[in-house]
């Protein structure tokens, strides 16, 4: 029996070249934002250059590609395009499980797609729910509490300074220098700001003053059977990317990995320093990769994910959040920087994500495993 989350939908006829629809929400900075949305609304949408890069990478292996905007017209666009498979990086259009919208639509239409499925994408965007799952399965997280109205009594295990951010956003949205609160007054003001501005609960957690890292995970138990690069994957079928350190000490928001700092290009003044591989001892490297893999598995993430981890005041790793739709902008997104650091070409990264996803739909033939080596008894 396959692990939960990897149950295979109806298979598709096997053929060498596919028509692939790249699904995404495009960031259009030329248009004014609608009234009433947060100042950093749509920050997690993609630039058209990212879409073009993904399409170019897919086409290097002979596939035909088309871009479809993941908006209200997507059902009709899918009907007209008739893709063999979708390469999904769509963030969704509002709601507390927006990253699950496109996977749900594709599953209803029985169209193959890459990446995690509906339930995983819905849970992973909810940082509070994700932390509850990790905590209950003994993964290290900082003490936390969700505020829904803003005047809830603060739990005794939460000590100042605290960190306050939206419970269901990504890309550092709602995070700036005011996210760190040092007293009750600042806490209440910030919690109410998040609740009113983002129309969702505020996640309050112990502020972690240590170094920040992110770890990418790719693969599954049988990845070696379907990857074009089986040598990337360890015996358990997973590839652990090199640990990337996010050093925000010289960023526009010192020591806070904010949306403003993330929006800077790599190497630009005010951007964080991205250090990969991180300069850490082997034991910490092992722990970070172990926790990232367990975070990935406990949420039944598929194909690829990236988990953010920060050290507490004693140097112990604490999981922050997981991104089951990690950014894929070449030479910019964290996962792409990690791949580049170990010599993985962007084209090969994109194609392996494609073939891992396609194999779940029976679109890729498994390679024959070499015979087991004989051992003397």
> How far is residue 85's CA from residue 19's CA, in Å, rounded to a whole number?
7
Q: Is 188 helix (H, G, I), strand (E, B) or coil?
A: helix
**Ranges of each domain in the chain:** 19-115, 143-206, 212-359
The pLDDT tens digits along the chain (377 residues) read 344 555 555 555 667 899 999 999 998 877 777 777 888 888 889 999 999 999 999 999 999 999 999 999 999 999 999 999 999 999 999 888 999 999 999 999 999 999 999 999 999 999 999 999 999 999 999 999 999 999 999 999 999 999 999 999 988 899 999 999 999 999 999 999 999 999 999 999 999 999 999 999 999 999 999 999 999 999 999 999 999 999 999 999 998 988 888 888 898 999 999 999 999 999 999 999 999 999 999 999 999 999 999 999 999 999 999 999 999 999 999 999 999 999 999 999 999 999 999 999 999 989 765 555 444 33
> How far is residue 265's CA from residue 9's CA, in Å, rounded to a whole number?
39
| pLDDT at residue 114 in the model | 98
> How far is residue 250's CA from residue 271's CA, in Å, rounded to a whole number?
7
| pLDDT at residue 1 in the model | 35
270: left (phi over 0), alpha (psi -120 to 50) or beta: left
Give residues with Cβ within 8 angstroms of 275, minimum separation 6: 244, 245, 247
Q: What are phi and psi of 189, to 5 degrees?
A: -65, -45
Question: Which string of DSSP letters, residue by residue, matches 346-367?
Answer: HHHHHHHHHHHHHHTTT-SPPP
Task: Please state the three-class secondary structure of 41-98 as a single string.
Answer: CCCCCECHHHHHHHHHHHHCCCCEEEEEECCCCHHHHHHHHCCCEEEECCCCCCCCCH
Give residues with Cβ within 8 angstroms of 233, minimum separation 6: 219, 223, 224, 227, 239
CA Rg value for the chain: 21
Looking up tokens 């609960």 gives 201
Angle between helices 346-359 and 48-59 (to 10 degrees): 70
| pLDDT at residue 16 in the model | 81
| pLDDT at residue 152 in the model | 95
CATH topology of domain 143-206: Dna Ligase; domain 1 (3.30.1490)
| pLDDT at residue 32 in the model | 74
Q: Is 284 helix (H, G, I), strand (E, B) or coil?
A: helix
| pLDDT at residue 13 in the model | 60
Residue 185: both structure tokens together: 């007054």
CATH number of 212-359: 3.30.470.20
Alpha helices in the chain (DSSP H): 48-59, 74-81, 101-109, 118-125, 127-136, 184-198, 223-226, 259-262, 282-298, 334-341, 346-359
CATH topology of domain 19-115: Rossmann fold (3.40.50)
**Sign of the CA dihedral running 37, 40, 45, 47:** positive
């Amino acid at each position: 029996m396959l692990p939960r989350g990897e149950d295979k939908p109806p298979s598709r006829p096997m053929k060498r070249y596919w028509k692939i629809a790249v699904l995404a929400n495009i960031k259009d900075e030329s248009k004014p934002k609608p009234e009433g949305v947060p100042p950093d609304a749509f920050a997690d949408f993609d630039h058209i250059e990212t879409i073009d890069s993904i399409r170019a990478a897919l086409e290097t292996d002979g596939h035909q590609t088309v871009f479809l905007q993941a908006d209200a017209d997507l059902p009709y666009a899918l009907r007209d395009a008739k893709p063999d498979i979708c390469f999904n990086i769509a963030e969704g259009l509002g709601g507390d499980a927006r990253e699950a919208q496109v996977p749900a639509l594709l599953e209803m239409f029985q169209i193959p797609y890459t990446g995690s499925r509906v339930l995983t994408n819905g849970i992973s965007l909810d940082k509070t729910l994700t932390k509850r799952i990790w905590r209950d399965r003994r993964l290290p997280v900082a003490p936390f509490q969700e505020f829904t109205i803003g005047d809830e009594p603060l739990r005794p295990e939460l000590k100042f300074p605290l960190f306050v951010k939206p419970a269901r956003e990504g890309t550092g949205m709602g995070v700036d220098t005011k996210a760190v609160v040092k007293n009750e007054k600042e806490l209440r003001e910030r919690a109410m700001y998040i609740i009113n501005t983002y129309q969702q609960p505020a996640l309050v957690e112990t502020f972690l003053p240590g170094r920040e890292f992110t770890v990418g995970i790719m693969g599954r138990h049988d990845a070696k059977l379907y990857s074009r690069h089986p040598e990337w994957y360890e015996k358990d079928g997973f590839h652990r990317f090199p640990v990337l350190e996010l050093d925000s000490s010289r960023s526009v928001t010192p020591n806070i990995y904010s949306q403003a700092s993330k929006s800077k290009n790599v190497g630009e003044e005010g951007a964080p320093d991205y250090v990969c591989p991180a300069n850490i001892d082997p034991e910490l490297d092992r722990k970070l990769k172990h926790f990232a893999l367990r975070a990935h598995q406990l949420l039944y993430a598929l194909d690829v994910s990236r988990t953010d981890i920060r050290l507490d005041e004693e140097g112990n790793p604490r999981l922050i959040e997981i991104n089951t739709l990690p950014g894929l902008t070449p030479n910019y997104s964290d996962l792409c920087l990690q791949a580049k650091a170990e010599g993985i070409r962007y084209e090969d990264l994109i194609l392996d994500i494609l073939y891992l996803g396609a194999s779940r739909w029976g679109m890729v033939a498994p390679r024959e495993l070499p015979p087991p080596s004989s051992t003397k008894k």
